[in-house]
Amino acid sequence: EVQLVESGGGLVQPGRSLRLSCAASGFKFDDYAMHWVRQAPGKGLEWLSGISWNSYSLGYADSVKGRFTISRDNARKSLFLQMDNLRAEDTAFYYCAKDILRGFLGTIDMWGQGTMVSVSS
Amino acid sequence: FMLTQPHSVSESPGKTVTISCTGSGGDIDHNFIQWYQQRPGSVPTILIYEENQRFSGVPDRFSGSIDTSSNSAFLTISGLKTEDEADYYCQSYDNVDPVWVFGGGTKLTVL
């Protein structure tokens, strides 16, 4: 079955860190760029970061640049998002997503079910 | 580069509706436009990519276009069905930096 499964979400205090993981299965993971996209409850989609198939190209939204780090392990078919210095406004569902291209300026054709991150004291 | 969508639109079953996505801070045709559908309680799915290409399995009731004179992209849905009730998002890329840009989303009500 083709799927993406996120993990690592939870409740965390402001200023702390969290690491999200995404396990891919059912497709050739190292042939595609990957993304993290979030959606606050009742709000729209916000692209956070993308990574090319070979990790050579990375991109970050201004809202998370310098605080979040995307990475991937093709051997383990996994995508990661290291989130540091978390803020209340980072509270959202975080989705792992697959691009149709090797570079990340393509189109998302597959989404995980999301993992919820809540930042609160 | 920003993409602006109307907050909501509504139309009756069987009719045609067009959702706009207006670019600011750059030309709408500088990069490809994509359209995603997100039904209530579900994750988004791709409808249209590269401005007017229907993704595999998407009915031909859905079509995409751009109008450079208004710097806008459009998603047109014909023969509306109640199942089309969803949020619709346009998406493109910044003209300078390698980052994605989503529109704010449009809630379509079919009643």
For A6-27, what is each residue's pLDDT tens digit? Answer: 999 999 999 999 999 999 999 9
β-pairing, A58-60 with A34-39? unpaired
Residue partners of A56: CB distance under 8 A and separation at least 6: none
Count helices and strands (H / E) in chain A.
Answer: 0, 11
| Chain B hits for A104, Cβ within 8 Å | 98, 100
Q: What is the mean pLDDT of residues A84-104?
A: 96
CA distance A9 to chain B (A): 17
Q: Which of B20, B25, B41, B29 is nearest to B103 (CA)?
A: B20
Is A59 close to B43, i.e. CB distance below 8 A?
A: no
pLDDT at A104 over 90: no
Mutate to test the interface with B, among A96, A100, A105 (most CBs of B within 10 A): A105
CB A95 within 8 A of CB A6: yes
pLDDT at B97 over 90: no
Q: CA angle at residue B67 from B61 to B73, to 5 degrees?
A: 55
- Is B46 at the interface with chain A, CB within 8 A? yes
Of residues B94 and B103, more confidence is placed in B103
| Average of per-residue pLDDT values in chain A | 97
- Is B6 at the interface with chain A, CB within 8 A? no
What is the per-residue pLDDT for B98? 86
pLDDT at A116 over 90: yes
CA distance B11 to chain A (A): 22
Say how far apart CA A103 and CA A99 lie, in whole Å: 8
pLDDT at A59 over 90: yes
What single-letter DSSP state applies at residue A72?
E
What is the per-residue pLDDT for B96? 82
What single-letter DSSP state applies at residue B29?
T
Report the chain A residue with the minimal C-alpha distance to residue B7.
A44
β-pairing, A34-39 with A10-12? unpaired
Say how far apart CA A38 and CA A16 lie, in whole Å: 18
- Is B55 at the interface with chain A, CB within 8 A? yes
